[in-house]
Amino acid sequence: MSKLNIRVGNFLFRYRNGLGPVLFILALLGGRPTFPAGSADLNLLLDCAGVVLALAGQLLRIVTIGFEYIERGGRNRQVYASKLVQGGVFAQCRNPLYVGNILLAAGLALVVNSVVFYVLVLPLVTYAYVAIVAAEEAFLREKFGADYVQYCRRVARWVPRLRGWRAAVAGMRFNWRRVLVKEYNTMFVVLLTLAAVKLWADYQVLGPPALPAPAAMATAFIVWLGSYLAVRTAKKTGYVKP
């Protein structure tokens, strides 16, 4: 790990919640979606692949948080950990949440099918997480010492181990309440973003005929907003606690 990556990682960790959406919006505005080979059928296949990839990334995040939890936001927007988490999905991959995020970005790129997303967004997102992981690993190595070194020897940084999943979660209960409380915002944003990006990309290629009827879009958004507010209210009032 280079010192440059660690410095960049600490910076990105602090400001990632703002930098990510800005990069995404700029890429949407600066890129031109296309249909592969001009084919609507191929575009549909690409959309389906993108949605599956994005939902797989979200599912990985859900499973990870359901079995084990870490201080994802750090402390005071800085890298922090009160304990070395080694159970659940973290027994199979050291950075499952970041792997899930990269899958989400790749899925969105396929749905948009824009050169800007392929040559700019995906490389930048991947490097951002490489740098953030470098900063986190420097912190964890300094704080937990030999225990962290041994953990790194057992578990890969990025590629989840395919064997041993049952043993990794043996004796653990999936905490669906924690998933709702800690991950509801990401889940709802991912669903809304996938739908919005799909509509926007098709509109850029086909124009107004690509859009559903206004009533259908309004109904879908009302259902989404109502569901979001219901879960948010359940969290804020303490009805659902992790």
d(CA 77, CA 83): 17
Tell me, yes or no, whether 138 lies in a domain.
yes
pLDDT at 54: 97
Q: Could you tell me the pLDDT band of residue 66, with boundaries at 50, 70 and 90? A: very high
How crowded is residue 218: how many other Cβ atoms within 10 Å of its Cβ? Answer: 11
* Number of compact structural domains in the chain: 1
Mean pLDDT confidence for 81-105: 95
Taking all residues of the chain, what is their mean pLDDT, rounded to a whole number? 93
Tell me, yes or no, whether 47 lies in a domain.
yes
Tell me, yes or no, whether 135 lies in a domain.
yes
Query: Among 165, 164, 133, 137, which Cα is nearest to 151's?
Result: 137
The CATH number that applies at residue 113 is: 1.20.120
Tell me, yes or no, whether 223 lies in a domain.
no
Provide the domain limits for residue 118. 3-173
- Segment 119-163, tens digit of pLDDT: 999 999 999 999 999 999 999 999 999 999 999 999 999 999 988
pLDDT at 1: 59
Instruction: Enumerate long-range contacts of 191-195, CB under 8 Å, 24 or more apart.
Output: 191/224, 192/224, 193/108, 194/51, 194/54, 194/107, 194/108, 194/111, 195/220
Q: Is 73 a residue whose pLDDT tops 80?
A: no
Tell me, yes or no, whether 92 lies in a domain.
yes
- Segment 18-54, tens digit of pLDDT: 998 999 998 988 888 999 988 999 999 999 999 999 9
d(CA 18, CA 21): 6
Contact 58, 100 (CB under 8 A): yes
Tell me, yes or no, whether 155 lies in a domain.
yes
Tell me, yes or no, whether 26 lies in a domain.
yes
